[in-house]
Copies of this chain bind each other. A is one copy, B any other.
């Protein structure tokens, strides 16, 4: 890991995208969202992703100049196409529409089709929370998980996020993927000779296993909580592919592999709710603060030092980066970024 100046890193990401024909505005958005994610310590969705986004643009799988297009619209809803552009600016623009509608009508929902990988899905939910609204965002993805009863990759790792204002805590930001754990974690545990907990992996025949080596022999990730997570992955697919007419399961291409002419064909669902519109008063954030107070006041388990709320760990990391002006970045990711800029 290297310590990098936040402003310098932002500028590097910006230049990497400007180099492949992306507009100043979109390059700014890419840099802002990816560096924000990196500062939160969510390395899997930060700088490491730049080379593949850039490669997809070069190979024609992402259109660098695509604009978000409203296909149909009501006061509460918009159905939009990303026309195969970069997922991050598309999702950000879509959330802005949802926020505007929520401020006008109490609720706004935007369904996005023909988009691409949108980075950390929680970023967009948090946009709503920072404006005093409740935000909820989801995206489908290429098949990575086995439905309950199957041993085949048929469902995306369909990320789901919500965020709300929470008084002195700023915002609560929950952002998860549906797999019980990531493939990277399993590969790492295999290297270290560790045993997996129950419920993380099935082998290539679909049998539960605690051996991480089974992953390399055709094992498949499963949803967290078994059928409970399977149903959540389906919910995301229903609210993206089915509601917004994006690609469904295998029609969605992997963000880091073969670029497709029509982009990733990814679907997003973005919702904002104005709590003031529900009750006519402004007390939501105070009640959310009280809820978090209660969590933090709970009796600690042996070995635990603190009870966190969703997004707290990431917020602490980001605040430290902003305080010092520096962020830790993986050396390989940084070298790849530098190489892109030279090209």
**A interface residues, Cβ below 8 angstroms from B:** 71-72, 74-77, 79, 105-107, 109, 111, 134, 146-152, 154-155, 162, 164, 172, 174, 176, 180, 197-199, 202, 205-207, 224-232, 234-235, 237-239, 241-245, 248-250, 273, 275, 277-280, 283-284, 287-288, 290-291, 294-295, 298-304, 306-310
Contacts and interface: CB of A to CB of B under 8 A. Distances in A.
30 contacts: A71-B279, A72-B279, A72-B280, A76-B277, A77-B107, A109-B273, A146-B301, A147-B298, A147-B307, A148-B308, A149-B308, A150-B298, A150-B299, A150-B300, A151-B300, A151-B301, A151-B302, A164-B242, A172-B238, A174-B231, A180-B225, A197-B199, A224-B224, A234-B295, A238-B288, A238-B291, A241-B291, A245-B287, A248-B291, A249-B294
A232 B176 CA distance: 10
Interface centre among A176, A227, A290, A291 (most CB of B within 10 A): A291
Contact of A287 (B197, B241, B278, B283): B241
A332 to B, nearest CB: 28
Contacts of A250: 294
A308 B162 CA distance: 28
Given A149-B298, A231-B310, 13 more contacts: A74-B106, A74-B277, A76-B105, A77-B278, A106-B109, A147-B307, A149-B301, A150-B298, A154-B298, A172-B238, A176-B231, A234-B291, A248-B294
A151 B111 CA distance: 40
Contacts of A107: 76-77, 107, 109
Given A198-B198, A241-B287, A242-B164, A302 B75 contact: no
Nearest first, the 4 closest Cβ-Cβ pairs linking A and B are A206-B301, A224-B225, A150-B298, A149-B304
Given A76-B106, A77-B277, A279-B72, A205 B294 contact: no
Contacts of A134: 238-239, 243
Contacts of A230: 310
A147 B241 CA distance: 33
A280 to B, nearest CB: 5
A75 B106 CA distance: 9
A243 B275 contact: yes
A299 to B, nearest CB: 4
A284 B79 CA distance: 13
A81 to B, nearest CB: 11
Given A76-B107, A234-B310, A287 B162 contact: no
A222 to B, nearest CB: 10
Contact of A295 (B154, B206, B275): B154
A243 B277 CA distance: 10
Contacts of A76: 76, 105-107, 277
Nearest to A284: B242
A142 to B, nearest CB: 13
A240 to B, nearest CB: 10
Contacts of A244: 278-279
Nearest to A152: B299
